[in-house]
A = this chain, B = another copy of it.
Amino acid sequence: MAKELKDLTKRSDNYSQWYNDLVVKADLAEQSAVRGCMVIKPYGYAIWEKMQQQLDKMFKETGHQNAYFPLLIPKSFLSREAEHVEGFAKECAVVTHHRLKNAPDGSGVVVDPDARLEEELIIRPTSETIIWNTYRNWIHSYRDLPILVNQWANVMRWEMRTRMFLRTAEFLWQEGHTAHATRDEAMEEAVKMLNVYSDFAEKYMAVPVIKGVKSANERFAGALETYTIEAMMQDGKALQSGTSHFLGQNFAKAFDVTFVNKENQPEYVWATSWGVSTRLMGALIMTHSDDNGLVLPPHLAPIQVVIVPIYKNAEQLADISKTVTPIVEKLRAKGISVKYDDADNRRPGFKFADYELKGVPVRLAIGARDIENGVVEVMRRDTLEKSELPIEGIETSVAALLEEIQDNIYAKALKHRQSMTRTVETYDEFKTEIEKGGFILAHWDGTPETEEKVKEETKATIRCIPLDGDTTPGVCMVTGRPSKQRVIFARNY
């Protein structure tokens, strides 16, 4: 581990390499034999499971139920919604055959040409099409609405440049797909789920986010409006962390989903969809971690507290263990996940560095003299500060410390974002500032052409039109035309 730590690139040397190193060395994920697809290792998956459980709870509390729709989508379904197919056709994994057979030359197996599918199937890049094709049979009357369904699933988008968690060909996600009787109700749902995502990001991931609306260029393919939460990473780049779409009646029209309203008139159904993915793992890692490894928010850490015994012989270990057992019980009784690492084949120093690398929020170290003094040594991962705490009442002080760490890393990330957010008036100023990273608040004339020009010239895009931002009008920094409010420009992942 000392070795592993030494191999961890420093953020200041190469932020991107630091991220890749950390994902691998902290045992979160690794590249697989299949291009662009990762293996999520048990420690990484344990964090994802905690995210899933919390999100799932929040979805159910807001009235949603889970269901499951097919992995494969008939190719023709994609073409039904013009913008949707435009957005996804170029990155689809296509299933063309349903059988292999032995190669005539005995060299293995080959695709059996006799098993060609009549219509090719694509692996879902997202499920609007198959789901709206299903909803047609579920919806007849306004009494059948709303439908509030979510799906936890794998999806595939054949991306050319991939990075673990941030952009992979296959990724895990949830996709909510709701159906409503009115435009207003659908719009309300889209905003409600944006708020669920932002609550989750801020309260569990400790990642401050800006809620906003996407410009037309950045909208989901097939949406009338895309809401987003945008986070800022330590290098000043933006990371889109979750989106919620108001789909209008686009998919209802494409799949002929109508209902009879209260006035007994047929009407197309209104839709939303919303999703977050394993990309959140990338946001989590890049927001908080440091040159010693991961820093995990206590609310999502699979191990919140690790206890390491410091001993010279078996007798001392037995004494320490006797003291540790009730501490573990009391912590667990408070719902805190604890690991007592009394493994004999690794030395304390090795363990310390390993749990630092893994981002365990609180480490307790306890030796023979500590027992005499009735204290333990406490190290908090966020600041790496050590202190002594009395064993008496340790469960209360550790519980408080975990909340303090949760708050502190959120505050730190927020402060970083604030320090990296600037307002500019002119395009020249913009070009200078964007090179320094961060979010730039600037006026924009609202046209795709201007956005495109800025992107081409500076690699920055409009991350969002903030919902809670300053709505003072002004003039576009590029064209001088009227602007309704400042928008956020940034380079992004």
Chain B neighbourhood of A41, CB < 8 A: 67
Task: Contact check, A34 vs B72: say whether CB atoms are below 8 A apart.
Answer: yes
Task: Contact check, B74 vs A100: say whether CB atoms are below 8 A apart.
Answer: no
What's the minimum C-beta distance from A94 to chain B, rounded to whole angstroms? 4
Tell me the dominant secondary structure on chain A's binding face. Answer: mixed
Task: Contact check, B34 vs A109: say whether CB atoms are below 8 A apart.
Answer: no
Task: Contact check, B39 vs A70: say whether CB atoms are below 8 A apart.
Answer: yes
Chain A positions 61-92 with a Cβ under 8 Å from a chain B Cβ: 65-79, 85, 89-92
Cβ of A101 under 8 Å from chain B: yes
Stretch from A118-126, A192-200, A426-434 that touches the partner:
A118-126
Cβ of A246 under 8 Å from chain B: no
Task: Contact check, B66 vs A46: say whether CB atoms are below 8 A apart.
Answer: yes
Q: A73-B34, A94-B97, A130-B33 are in contact. Are A39 and B65 (CB under 8 A)?
A: no
Closest chain B residue to A134, Cβ basis: B39
Task: Contact check, B94 vs A37: say whether CB atoms are below 8 A apart.
Answer: no
Task: Contact check, A156 vs B96: say whether CB atoms are below 8 A apart.
Answer: no
Task: Contact check, A42 vs B65: say whether CB atoms are below 8 A apart.
Answer: yes
Task: Contact check, A49 vs B66: say whether CB atoms are below 8 A apart.
Answer: yes
**Cα distance A98–B120 when bound, in Å?**
12
Chain B neighbourhood of A120, CB < 8 A: 111
Cβ of A173 under 8 Å from chain B: no
Chain A positions 136-193 with a Cβ under 8 Å from a chain B Cβ: 137, 143, 149, 153-154, 156, 158, 170, 172
What's the minimum C-beta distance from A31 to chain B, rounded to whole angstroms? 10
Choose one: B37, B96, B98, B102; the contact of A111 (CB below 8 Å): B96
Task: Contact check, B32 vs A130: say whether CB atoms are below 8 A apart.
Answer: yes
Chain B neighbourhood of A100, CB < 8 A: 75, 78, 85, 89-90, 92, 94, 122
Closest chain B residue to A33, Cβ basis: B133
Task: Contact check, A93 vs B72: say whether CB atoms are below 8 A apart.
Answer: yes
Choose one: B32, B66, B123, B158; the contact of A134 (CB below 8 Å): B32
Chain B neighbourhood of A101, CB < 8 A: 89-90
**Cα distance A109–B98 when bound, in Å?**
21
Closest chain B residue to A38, Cβ basis: B70
Task: Contact check, A68 vs B96: say whether CB atoms are below 8 A apart.
Answer: no
Task: Contact check, B109 vs A85: say whether CB atoms are below 8 A apart.
Answer: yes
Chain B neighbourhood of A121, CB < 8 A: 34, 93
**Cα distance A86–B108 when bound, in Å?**
10
Chain B neighbourhood of A345, CB < 8 A: 143
* Interchain residue pairs A-B with the least CB separation, the first 10: A42-B65, A79-B108, A37-B70, A89-B100, A40-B68, A98-B158, A94-B97, A96-B96, A34-B70, A32-B70
